[in-house]
Amino acid sequence: MHANITPTLDAAKQVRVDLAAAYRLIHRLGLDDSIYTHISVRVPGTQDRFLINPYGMRFEEVTAGNLVTVDVDGKVVDDPLGLGINPAGFTIHSAVHAARHDAQCVLHTHTVAGVAVSCLKDGLQPLNQWSMQFTDRIAYHDFEGIALDLSERERLVADLGDKMVLILRNHGLLTCGRSVGEAFKLMFNMERSCRAQLAILSTGAEVIRPSHAIAAHTAGQYDRGYDKVHGTEGGKPDSEWEAFKRMLERTDADYKN
C-alpha cells in the first residue's frame, strides 16, 4: 500500500511548493552557489509570469511563501519580502520562459563539476548510462560575460532551440522541464554525469566509449520514461520526485510555508 505522499493542492500552490522543494534540494545536494543561480517556474494559467527566488536569500531559506512573481518584461508583480530579484537571473530565465512555453521550469547551476565540463571543448560526453541519456539532447551557448545584457536573450534561446538541456560554456548548466520535478531530475543526472566524466578522465586510463547507436538508444529509453510522467500522455506518478520531497520532510518541512 502506497502512502498519499503529497496532499492535493490547487495548481498555483502546488508549483510554489514544488519550486521551494527544488531550491531546498539543490542546497541539500550541494549544488547551490551562495545567493546566486536560480530556479524558476511559470505561474499556472499564464504565459508571461514566473516565480523565482528573492535576491539575497540562500537556497535553504526559500519557502513557497517568499517566492517573487515577475513578468517576462522584468516587472515585479509580487515580492513578499521586498528583496527584488537578481538581474542576471532574470535575463536567463525570462529568455527561456518567453520563448519556450513548454518549459514550465528552468533550473540553472554553477557547480564545480558543471563549470568544469562547460569549459571542455567536447562538453559532456556519453561515457556512461547517466550521460548517455543526453545524447544529441544538449545545446551549447558561448559565454558573453555575466548575463546582464538583455540582448543576449535572443542568442541564448536561439542556441537552446527545442532542447531541454543547455551547457552555458565557461559558465554552468541549465535544464528545462515540463514540471519542476523533471527539470530537477535532469539537473541531478547532468551533475552526476559531469562528476563521473571528470573522475573517468582524471584516471588517464583508456576509456571504453559506447557507440553512438547505443548511446542514442539509451537516450530514447530515458525519454520514454520521462514522457510517461511529464509528457502529453502523462498520468504516471513521479515516484522519484516524490521520494526526494519525502527526504525534505524529515529536515526541511518548513519549505512549504
- Cα 114–Cα 18–Cα 157 angle in degrees, nearest 5: 50
pLDDT at 9: 63
Q: What is the DSSP letter of 207?
A: P
> What is the rounded radius of gyration, in angstroms, for the C-alpha atoms of the chain?
18
- Cα 126–Cα 231–Cα 155 angle in degrees, nearest 5: 60
Beta strands across the sheet bearing 39-42: 76-78, 68-71, 49-52, 39-42, 105-109, 172-177, 165-168, 138-141
Indicate whether 254 belongs to any domain.
no
Indicate whether 2 belongs to any domain.
no
pLDDT, tens digit, 9 for 90 and up, residues 160-185: 999 999 999 999 999 999 999 999 99
Residue 240, amino acid:
E
What are the residue ranges in the chain where pLDDT is below 70? 1-9, 232-234
DSSP secondary structure, 125-137, as one string: ---SHHHHTTTT-
pLDDT at 234: 63
Number of domains in the chain: 1
pLDDT at 214: 98
Q: Is the dihedral of CA 125, 130, 253, 230 positive or negative?
A: positive
pLDDT at 6: 43
Q: Which of 97, 149, 89, 138 is nearest to 114 (CA)?
A: 138
Indicate whether 6 belongs to any domain.
no
Indicate whether 98 belongs to any domain.
yes
C-alpha–C-alpha distance, residues 59 and 23, integer Å: 5
Indicate whether 96 belongs to any domain.
yes
pLDDT at 113: 98
C-alpha–C-alpha distance, residues 104 and 111, integer Å: 23
What range defines the domain where residue 117 resides? 11-249
Where residue 140 sits, what CATH number does that domain have?
3.40.225.10
Residue 200: count of CB within 10 angstroms of its CB: 16
pLDDT at 241: 97
Indicate whether 5 belongs to any domain.
no
Indicate whether 57 belongs to any domain.
yes
Indicate whether 209 belongs to any domain.
yes
